[in-house]
Amino acid sequence: MGARASHAAAVPGAERIRRETGFSQACLLRLHHRFQALDRNNKGYLSRVDLQQIGALAVNPLGDRIIDSFFPDGNHQLDFPGFVRVLAHFRPVDEEDPGVRDPKQPEPLNSRMNKLRFAFQLYDLDRDGKISRNEMLQVLRLMVGVQVTEEQLESIADRTVQEADEDGDGAVSFLEFTKSLEKMNIEQKMSIRILK
C-alpha cells in the first residue's frame, strides 16, 4: 500500500489532472509510466522526436498529424498534463445519460464534441478552422498512396466537399464536419478501452 501511495504521489498534480480529465488513479499512474518511458532523457517533457520513436506511429499515414496534435500551440515540449489531456479525448464515454451531468462543469474532454474536434484537427493542417480541398487531397494521398490516380483523388475530394459543404465556401468547417459524421458512432469509435 505504501509503495503504491508513493507511486501515486510521484505523479505531479495528480488530483488536478484527474479532475480535469476524469482518468482513474490507476490509469493515470499507468500513463505516467508510459510518459516516463517515452521521455528518454528524463527531460520531464516530451519532444516530437520522442513521439516519432513509437513504432506504431511510423506505419500510420497520419502519424505526423497525430504527433502534431500533441503540440497544440506550436510548442515543442509536451509536459505530462498536456499528454494526459490529449489522451483524455480517447477515454470511453460513460454509458450514463448526459442529462445528469452537473451543468456547472465544463464539457468533459471525452465528450462527443471534443472527440470530433480532435479528429477535425487532424485534417485541418493549417488550423484555420476549415478543411480545404487541398488539405483533403494531402490526407487522401497519405491514405491511399499511389494506387489511385490523381484525378480520381481530386474527384473524391471534390465529392467530399460537395457532400459536406453547406455554405458553399468550398471547404469543410467544423460544423459541417460534425454534421457529416452525425450518424457515426464517434463515442465508441474514438475510445480506447484501456483508458478507462
Q: Quick one: 41 or 168, whose CB is closer to another protein?
A: 168
Residues 6+ apart with CB under 8 A from 192: 90, 91, 92
Closest CA to 140 of 59, 61, 68: 61
Shortest distance, CB of residue 187 to another protein, whole angstroms?
10
Residue closest to 65 by CA, chosen among 76, 73, 57: 57
How far is the C-alpha of 119 from the C-alpha of 174, rounded, in Å? 10
The least distance separating another protein from the CB of residue 62, rounded to whole angstroms, comes to: 6
> Quick one: 41 or 55, whose CB is closer to another protein?
55
The Cα–Cα gap between 125 and 183 comes to 24
Minimum distance from residue 148 beta carbon to another protein (Å): 6
User: Which residue lies nearer to another protein by CB, 49 or 113?
Assistant: 113
Q: How far is the CB of 177 from another protein (least distance, A)?
A: 7
Alpha helices by DSSP H, the chain: 2-10, 14-21, 25-38, 48-52, 55-59, 63-70, 80-87, 112-123, 133-144, 150-164, 174-180, 186-189
Pick between residue 16 and residue 43 the one whose CB is nearest to another protein.
Answer: 16
Closest CA to 165 of 125, 185, 157: 157
Grid coordinates representing 102 are: 452537473
CB of 189 to another protein, least distance (A): 7
Q: Which is nearer to another protein, 76 or 163 (CB)?
A: 163
Q: How far is the CB of 70 from another protein (least distance, A)?
A: 13
Nearer to another protein by Cβ, of 126 and 163: the residue is 163
